[in-house]
Amino acid sequence: PSYGSDFRIGYKRNGLNISATYGYVDSKNRANLPQSKTLFLGKDTHTFIQDQEAHGKFTSHGWKLNADYEIGDKHIIGMEWDASYDRDGERRASLLDYMRNSVHMQSTDISNDYQNDINFNHVNIFHNGRWGERLSSELNLDYASNNNDYRQETDETTEERTIQTQSTGNSRLDILAG
């Protein structure tokens, strides 16, 4: 089952405008992915059969806050902040069988656990002004950051020999512009 919703509220009075928004998504998935490949090389037939089952979950929370103020009819100042937090994860199990000329040669059991967390923030501060009939200005200052933390663990077992692989990573991005 998957679900999500949004919520929005606003206020406006005497040149002041304030609004806020929040939304979320909670999504789950399940997949069965059977595959079969056959290669004919010379007089040999090589068959690879893989059955996979995956269970995933994705959640997302996002919000936005806006505020601006009209100073007379010639100037407006304001700010906007929007941000989100996302988490994506999946557990996958698969069995890979290899046969040559219809004789079973090898089986590999694979389990995989994946998760990725993403935090995003953006802030904008602005001023728009008309200083006369021919002169106007626009000032925008922005800051954005994106943080991504990732991990994946994989176990592969063939003939009672297990290979474990762990992958982790994180990235940090900060941008300031004006």
- H/E segment holding residue 173: strand 161-177
Whether 69 has a pLDDT exceeding 90, the answer reads yes
Other C-beta atoms closer than 10 Å to the C-beta of 63 total 15
**Which residue type does 6 have?**
D
Average pLDDT over residues 83-104: 95
Predicted model pTM = 0.75
Q: How confident is the model at residue 58 (pLDDT cuts 50, 70, 90)?
A: very high
Q: How confident is the model at residue 3 (pLDDT cuts 50, 70, 90)?
A: confident
Question: Under a CB-based contact definition with an 8 Å cutoff, are residues 157 and 112 in contact?
Answer: no
**Residue 121, Cα to own-chain centre: how many angstroms?**
14
Non-local CB neighbours of 3 within 8 Å, separated by 6+ positions: 25, 26, 27
Portion of the chain with pLDDT greater than 90, in percent? 92
Cα(53)–Cα(96) distance, rounded to whole angstroms? 12
